[in-house]
Structure 1
Amino acid sequence: MNILKDRAIWIVVVVIILAGGIYMVIIDPNRVQKMDDIVVRDDTRQADNTETNERLRIVELELLGDKKNLQKLRDEYDIHIKTYDSKVDSINKAFSKVDIEIDKILRDMKDKFAEVQDQLEDLEDDISSLKTQTKRDFRSVNAEISALKEAIDEISDDLDE
């Protein structure tokens, strides 16, 4: 049985060696090539990942810069709005003062016109009374002239006689 055992062991050893040889010659190069391809793809992926991370970092920096610029613009806008509001308020105050002055002038003009109207009415009354007095004086002068004319006529008649 020793021979059978030895042969069996040698057959198993030869089969294992042949299997190892076949593995080393046929299967292992494919595996090694696949592993090399995996390594290359991993390197490519890592390079892509690194490039993507770098681009992401650049974009984040740009966004951070844009955010700062936007904040700066927002602050400037707020300052401009405050300045605009203050100027509008001062203009509104100036217009309010002008409106008040115009109202005061209109009120004074109405008072002056009312005063002038009263003075005109007084003047009309004075003129009317002067007309009446002049008519009265004219009538009395006419009456005196008539009386003098009659007196002259009488004197003339007396002289003629």
Structure 2
Amino acid sequence: MSAIEQNRANTRATIQSGLLIGIGLMAAIDEIVFHQLLAWHHFVDARSGAFALFSDGLLHAAELLLLTAGAFMARSLLYERTFAPGHFRAALLLGAGGFQVFDGVVDHKILGLHQVRYVDPVWPYDVAWIGAGLLILLAGMLALRNARRRSAPQ
């Protein structure tokens, strides 16, 4: 990217679009793999199977909204030629990792909406779930630091 293009890049909006898409992608992976294919849990594990499926539908609708909003933002930035690819990649990782950690800590442990998997002991699954999210977050932070260094005026 040339110096003129770097100065024109809208890094804030690029990061916002990347965060939305990253959150949506990780929510989709969770919902498709762990809710549907493996059937380990639902978004809200309730006594009513109908409500559990309804909660999965709400999660699916939310992830689609996030993916669509992020994609339209990214498309607009590309059209305006203000898209910052390095910042976008970093934000994808930050959004995905942030979703994973939030889900593991808040949804699983604080709110108790569901567990990763209903086995005894559950802690290895919790460590793997939250640990994977933290690794993705770390990769996102490093990528953002590198993107900011590359786009800084020389």
Please identify which structure carries the higher helix content.
Answer: 1
Does 1 or 2 have the higher relative contact order (CA < 8 Å, sep 6+)? 2
Q: TM-score, normalised by structure 2?
A: 0.22
Decide which structure has the larger Cα Rg and report it.
1
